[in-house]
Amino acid sequence: MPYTSPVADYRFLLDQVLGYGQLAKTPTFEEAGADVTEAILTELGRLCDEVLAPLNRGGDLTPARLENGVVRTSPGFKQGYQAIAEGGWLGISANPENGGMGLPLTLNTAMNEMMSGACLSLQLCPLLSQGQIEALEHHASDAIKALYLPKLTSGEWTGTMNLTEPQAGTDVGALRSKAEPLDDGSFAVTGQKIFITWGDHDVAENVCHLVLARLPDGAAGTRGISLFMVPKFLPDADGNPGERNSLRVVSLEHKLGIHGSPTCVMSFEGAKGWMVGKPNGGMAAMFTMMNNARLGVGAQGIGVAEAAYQHALAYAKDRTQGKTPLGEGSILDHADVRRMLAMMKAEVFAARAIALACGMSMDMARATGDGHWKSRAALLTPIAKAHGTDIGCEVSSMGVQVHGGMGFIEETGAAQYFRDARITPIYEGTNGIQAMDLVGRKMMDGGDAACRLLQEVEDLAEAARATLPDLAEPVWEAAETLREATEWMVAQEPNDRNAGAVAYLRAFARVLGGYYHLKAALADPNGPRARLARVFVDRILPEHQSLLVQARAGADQLYALSADDLESA
C-alpha cells in the first residue's frame, strides 16, 4: 500500500492560499519561517513514506493482542514509534522548555494528517500524547509539569485520556469512577473505563493516564468531576518508572478497523493518582486536551482520504476494462471513474484547507491575543473535525467504488481505508455533537464570527469576478445564502437549531471549500488548481442549497413522528 505524503499540496496551501507567512512575523513564531517549514515538511514526508506507511497493512492483518495481561503491538510498530519519538515529533508544538520545538499548530496539523495517511493506527498514539502535553501545560501543577512533560515530549512516555464508561458516553457526567484522597496528597482512583485508545502497549516505557473521576463530595453531573494523572508505573525518586500501579487492561476491543491500535477496557483499582487542575475542574482541563484532539482527528480523516485517493488512482491507472472515449486505455479514461477521482481530490483539498485554516487561527490567537482570531478558531474547530472525518469516510468509500468488485476484496487494501476512517466521525464528540456546538456555543455571539468569515469570502469573490467570473459568482452567491441561513439559525430555539445542525455545518464546509478552491485558482489561474476548483464549484458546492433547506426545516416534523411511526412498515 504505497503512500506519498502530499508535501507539495501543503507548500501550496500554506504559501499561496492561507497566508502562512504572517505567523513568522509574530514574535511567538519568528523561527517558523520558510526554511524551517520546508525542512519540517520534507523530513515529515520522508518519515511517513519510508518508515510509517510500510507498517499500515501489517497493523490491519496482525492486530494488537493481549497476552497474560500484556499488550503486544503489531509487528514494526515499536520501531515506527521510536522513529517518531527520536525525531522529536511528539513535541513539534510543545514548549521548548520541556524539549519541544515550539512550532505552530498548523505544522502539527500537517504532521497529524501525513502520519494518519501513512498509518492511522500508529498515529493515534502520538496524537493522544500531544493532547495530554497541552492539557498539562495549561492545567497541571509545577511538580507534575516538571516530572511528566519532558518524558511525554521526548516520547519516552505516552499519554491517554480516560473519559468513557459503559453508562457514560456523551453524557460524561454520568461517570461512576471515584477518587478518594490519601494522606500524602495523592488520590486512590477506582473505576472502569472503555474505548481507551492506546491504553496499554509495548512501544514506550510508561503510559500516563488522564482519568476523569469524582471526589467523595463531588456534585452530580459534570460540575463534580475532577481530573487525575494516573501512571501505569509510579515514578521513583529519580523520575524513572518504578512500582506497577493498581490498574490493568481487562480486554481489547474487537473493532471494525484500526486493528493495529490497542483500544482497551481499563480497570483502575485504587490506583494512585495526582489531581490535575482544580477540584471539580476536570472537564475544563480535559476539554483543553479534547479541543486539540478534535482538530487532530479532523486531520486523521483527511489523511485517510488522501491515502484512499492515492490507492484508487494507482488502481485506476493500471486497470483496463472496456473501450473508453479516449481509445484503448485504463479505467481512468472512463467518464465516471474520472468523475470519482476528480471529486475525491477536490474534496481532500477543501477539507485540508479548512483544517489548516483552523490551525492557523489557533496559532494567530496565541501569537497575537486578538479576540478575532480566537473566535475564528472556535468557529472552525467543529467544522474542521466533523467535515474532515466525514470526507475521510466518503472518499474512502468512493475509493472502494473505483476498485469495483475488487474493492470489496480485502486483499486489494481499499477496504481498510474505509474501515479505519469510520471511527473518526465518532471520536472526540460525534459529528452531531460538533454540529450542535457550532449552532449553539459558537453562535452565542449572534453569528458575528461566522458572518465576519463569510464577509471575507464575499470580498474575495467580488474581487475575483473580473478574472474568474465562472468561479467567483457561485462562491459569492453561496456565501450570501449561508449568511441568510446563519441569521435564521441564530433566531431559532435550540432544538430547531439542533435539528438542522448537521446540514448547516456541512453547508458551511461547502462554502469554505469553494472559497479556498477559488483562492487556489487565483494563484494558479491557468493550471491544475483552477481546473480542480471548477470541479468543486460546479459539482460539489451546489450541495449547499439543499443542505440549507434541511438546516431550516426545524424540529417539529421530526417529533411529529412517534416511536410507533418509526417502527411501522
Grid cell, residue 154, equals: 521526548
Separation between Cα atoms, residue 223 and residue 34, nearest integer Å: 45
Terminal-to-terminal C-alpha distance of the chain: 44
Task: Output phi, psi for 349, to 5 deg.
Answer: -60, -45
Cβ-based neighbours of 328, under 8 Å, separated by 6 or more: 320
Q: Cα–Cα distances in Å, from 555 out to 125, 358, 523?
A: 40, 30, 43
* Short-list 292, 339, 306, 328, CA closest to 136: 292
Positive or negative torsion for Cα 469, 471, 474, 480: negative
Q: What is the DSSP letter of 218?
A: P
- Strands 178-181 and 187-197 turn out to be antiparallel
Largest distance between two CA atoms of the chain? 81
DSSP-assigned beta bridge partners for residue 160: 209
Instruction: Say how far apart CA 101 and CA 335 lie, in whole Å.
Output: 47
Query: Which of 202, 222, 206 lies closest to 214 in space, CA to CA?
Result: 222
* Contact present, 76 and 83 (Cβ < 8 Å): no
What residues are annotated to the active site? 428
Cβ neighbours for 461, distance < 8 A, ≥ 6 positions apart? 472, 473, 475, 476, 479, 515, 518
Contact between 162 and 264 (Cβ < 8 Å): no
- How far is the C-alpha of 365 from the C-alpha of 369, rounded, in Å? 5
Per DSSP, helices labelled H in 422-561 are: 431-439, 448-464, 469-490, 494-499, 501-523, 528-535, 543-551, 556-560
Pairing of strands 206-214, 157-162: parallel
> Tell me, what amino acid is at 11?
R
Helix (H) or strand (E) holding 544: helix 543-551
Closest Cα to residue 233, out of 242, 220, 246, 222? 242
Other beta carbons less than 10 A from residue 491's beta carbon: 11
- Cα distance between residue 378 and residue 187, in whole Å: 34
The residues pairing with 445 across neighbouring beta strands, listed in sequence order, are none
Reduced to 3 states, what is the DSSP secondary structure of residue 210?
Answer: strand
Element (H, E) at 230: strand 225-231
Give the HSE-up count for residue 42: Cα atoms under 13 Å, Cβ half-sphere. 6
- Angle at which helices 501-523 and 371-403 cross, to 10°: 90
